[in-house]
Each structure stands twice: as structure tokens, then as C-alpha cells.
Amino acid sequence: MSNHVLVSVVIPNYNYEKTLHNCLEALQKQTYKNIEIIFVDDGSTDHSVEIAEKYPCKIIETKNKGVSSARNTGVENSAGEIVFFLDSDVALFEDAIENTVNQFSKDPSLGSVCGIYAKEAMFNDSLIEEYRTLQNYFWRKSSEGYVTAGFFSLGAVKKSVFNELGGFNKELNNSEDIEFGHRLNQNYRLLLTSKVMGYHDEEDQLGNLMRKMHERALQRVPFYFSRKKFTKGFETPLRGLGMLFVGLSTVLLPLSILELYSLLFFWGCLFIFILTDIGQYCFVMKEKGVIFTLFFIGVHWTVTAVVFWGFVRGLVQFLLSKKFRLKYRYGS
């Protein structure tokens, strides 16, 4: 591949006027110039379309069909040999698309190249956003290499591979990345690399983050049963073990108020939880110091507890609902 390869940047959008200017402005500054921008607005009620009209975009308007459908629509209207999926709350580093094309050129076995969020947020609106930004950066950075889960908020796919696989599952709008990544890995490789980076506007409210993570964990259950394997990447056995100890600690927490042994077991579970991802906390300590690291541990414990009970809820739903069990039948 060379500079003559056309890259189609597909941006699905729903009410992201806050970040859209930064997203589109960053595309104007790319070192790789042979790109087309396809902006798929999925029924926004804010000023997103008006903002997009100020930039050289092909604008397509749909009606609240979800991110998977929006991405598929973007590809259907694209002309590039490579499709770069970019969420409208991400602003790419200037060399992101150039590095993506170079990765495809170096490794013909690649079907997809996905990037990593920077350790600085696009907008730093709260301590919760700082937590999420650092946590997301570390997990992805420590997982660099060939993985099975896709990250298509800033990730590229060869168009021929995308068409061969039939696109994203339109029924999924929360776990579509991992499902598509699994299908891609049957015949191709997926590279996660920090050579492709962007600033992301993370969740800045704990309640919103918890709801999103709980739902995502619930949706993972039928996927794991359907594919009979965990994803390769940041979902490590140690982190899975840590989540189990967090689940146990949530049961022990009410009892610890009344009983000394339960309190000791709770602190033991917390200690093991920290040990299972000690590199993450050392990284945060280096970046932000002791006080923020203690805050980080508390928030991460809380979010992990929500994820654990999302899995539990998903297991119950898997047992009771045939429709839920067949959720990932697409592409099997």
C-alpha cells in the first residue's frame, strides 16, 4: 500500500456536538491526505449536522438505528480500500491514519488495525473522567499486539475483509466490536497498536459509567458461551480473578459492619484485587501521586463490582431467555 490508497473515514454520530469540532479538525491536520470523510448522523437533535457541514464531509442522515447500522451505512457509501472507523468523540493524533496505512503495508495478514486512547482526555471534566482515561489507556497499552477484540471507535478494516464478513451485526450496539473482531480473527489478524492514537472524551459521571459497564458485562455472557472463549487482550485471567474477589467483597461488605472476621476477609479480598493488576496502580501512582491513586482504587473497585454483577445478571438472563442465548448467532 502507498499514499495513493484512499482511506474512507466513517464517523457515526448521535448528539456529539461537544466533541465533533475537535474530531473533524484533527482529520484536517492528518499527515496522510488521501482520505474521504463519511459522516453518518443517526438522528441527532443537537447541532451536529450543522457542524459537519462546515467540513469536507459526505453527510448521510439516518434515523436512530444504532452505531452498528450507522457504520455499515458509512461503508456502503465509501470508496476507499481501507475503512477507518472513528467515533465523533475522538480526535486523532496527526500521524494516526498514516501509521495505520503503514501497518497494513508491512503485514499483509492484517485484516484490521485498531488504536489506543491517549492518557490525556479530550476534555478533562471530572476526577471520574481522569480515572476512566488512565484506566482505559493502561489496559489497552498493556495489551498491544495481536488481539481478538476490535476497538472500532478508532480502528481500521480492509474494505474487502469488511464486506467478506458482512459488516457489523446490526442487532448489537454495545458489544459489536468484540463480535466483529472474533469473526475477523477466523481468517485474519487484528493488531492493537499505540502507533494509532487519539484523544477521547470519556464518561465524566460515575452513574453513567456504571450503567454502561454493567450493560456491557451483561452482553458479554452470550458472546462467551457462543464463542466458547474469552477475548485475547486486556481481559486477562488475573483481572478475571480480581473481579471474582471484588464480587466476594461486595457480599462481605455488609457483614463486615457486624463481624470482625468478615471485615478482615473484606480487606483481604481488596488486597488481592489490587495485586491482580498491580502494574495499573503503579502506573497511576507515577502519573498522579498517592492521593489520586487511592481515589482510583476506590472507583475501580466500584466499577468492577458493577461489572461483576452485570455478569451475574447476564448468566441469569442466559438461563431464562432463549432470545438472549441466541444473541450472537450472527456470523456463526
Which 3 state secondary structure label does DSSP give 139? helix
Q: pLDDT 10s digit of each residue in the chain, 332 long?
A: 556 899 999 999 999 999 999 999 999 999 999 999 999 999 999 999 999 999 999 999 999 889 999 999 999 999 999 999 999 999 999 999 999 999 999 999 999 999 999 999 999 999 999 999 999 999 999 999 999 889 999 999 999 999 999 999 888 777 788 889 989 999 999 999 999 999 999 999 999 999 999 998 998 888 888 776 666 667 788 899 999 999 999 988 887 777 888 889 999 999 999 999 999 999 999 999 999 999 999 999 999 999 999 999 999 999 999 888 887 664 44
The C-alpha cell at 296 is: 482510583
Closest CA to 203 of 303, 70, 85: 303
Which 3 state secondary structure label does DSSP give 203? coil
51 phi and psi, to 5 degrees? -65, -45
Domains of the chain: 7-204 (3.90.550.10), 205-332 (no CATH)
Under DSSP, the state recorded for 231 is: P
Judge residue 65's burial from the number of C-beta atoms within 10 Å of its C-beta, 0-12 exposed, 13-18 middle, 19 or more buried.
middle
Query: Which secondary structure element, helix H or strand E, spans residue 191, and what is its range?
Result: strand 189-200
Q: How far is CA 67 from the centre of its chain?
A: 13
Contact 95, 31 (CB under 8 A): yes
Closest CA to 256 of 244, 247, 266, 246: 266
**How far is Cα 193 from Cα 179, in angstroms, rounded to an integer?**
19
Q: Find cell 456504571 and name the residue.
A: 210
Contact 156, 112 (CB under 8 A): yes
The C-alpha cell at 327 is: 444473541
Q: What is the pLDDT of residue 332?
A: 40
pTM over 0.85, yes/no = yes
The C-alpha cell at 174 is: 454495545
Which 3 state secondary structure label does DSSP give 200? strand
CA atoms within 13 A on the CB side of 138: 18
Query: Rounded to the nearest 10 degrees, what angle do helices 278-288 and 290-320 cross at?
Result: 140
Query: Which secondary structure element, helix H or strand E, spans residue 36, and what is its range?
Result: strand 35-42
Categorise residue 145: left if φ over 0, alpha if ψ from -120 to 50, beta otherwise: left
* Residue 293: C-alpha distances to residues 52, 142, 147, 297, 299 (Å): 39, 18, 28, 6, 10
The C-alpha cell at 279 is: 502494574
Within 8 A by CB and 6+ apart from 154, the residues are 84, 85, 86, 87, 90, 92, 96, 114, 115, 116, 117, 196, 197, 198
Q: What is the pLDDT of residue 184?
A: 95
Strand 110-117 relative to strand 189-200, pairing? parallel
Query: Which secondary structure element, helix H or strand E, spans residue 241, and what is its range?
Result: helix 237-256
